[in-house]
């Protein structure tokens, strides 16, 4: 195994996306790259999954979600799963990203993005030493 598949093989990724068309696509992209993926359509489901998962290597979360923001969700998940890396995905021009990008210590990727850019961003997150 080489490339992204070697790095993502067996990595546990939780994707939180309320767009019913995008969520399965993101799951397929990551599974094709070798990751083990769970998806949630809302923050409450994501927290339930996070509590049930033995580990989460990467949380991928939309910024705008029902019931609370992706930022709030990430804080909850990080409390449950210390060391989890976080990638926010958001629609182009989302004011939440612009307002928070200086104070939030997480990476972001603006939609729309190419599958290879999505995988590359996650590979880079995993390769980066944890703080």
Does the pLDDT at position 36 exceed 70? yes
Evaluate whether 48 touches 80 at the Cβ level (below 8 Å): no
Q: Stretch 4-19: mean pLDDT, rounded?
A: 91
Q: Which domain holds residue 81?
A: 3-127
Q: Which domain CATH number covers 9?
A: 3.40.50.2300
pLDDT digits (tens, 9 = 90+) for 85-121: 999 998 755 555 554 443 456 788 988 899 999 999 9
Question: How is residue 54 annotated by DSSP?
Answer: S
**pTM, full prediction:** 0.89
Q: Stretch 31-35: mean pLDDT, rounded?
A: 96
The Cα-based distances of 53 to 22, 42, 49 in angstroms read 22, 16, 6
Domain count, the chain: 1
Reduced to 3 DSSP states, what percent helix, strand and coil does the chain have, rounded to the nearest 5?
Answer: 45, 20, 35
């Amino acid at each position: 195994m080489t490339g992204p598949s070697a790095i993502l093989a067996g990595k546990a990724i939780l994707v939180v996306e309320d767009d019913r068309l995008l969520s399965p696509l993101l799951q397929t992209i990551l599974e094709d790259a070798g990751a083990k993926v769970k998806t949630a359509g809302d923050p409450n489901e994501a927290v339930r999954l996070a509590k049930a998962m033995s580990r989460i290597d990467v949380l991928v979360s939309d910024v705008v979600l029902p019931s609370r923001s992706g930022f709030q969700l990430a804080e909850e998940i990080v409390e449950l799963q210390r060391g989890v890396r976080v990638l926010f995905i958001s629609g182009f021009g989302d004011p939440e990203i612009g307002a928070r990008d200086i104070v939030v210590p997480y990476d972001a990727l603006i939609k729309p993005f190419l599958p290879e850019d999505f995988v590359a961003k996650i590979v880079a997150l995993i390769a980066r030493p944890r703080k």
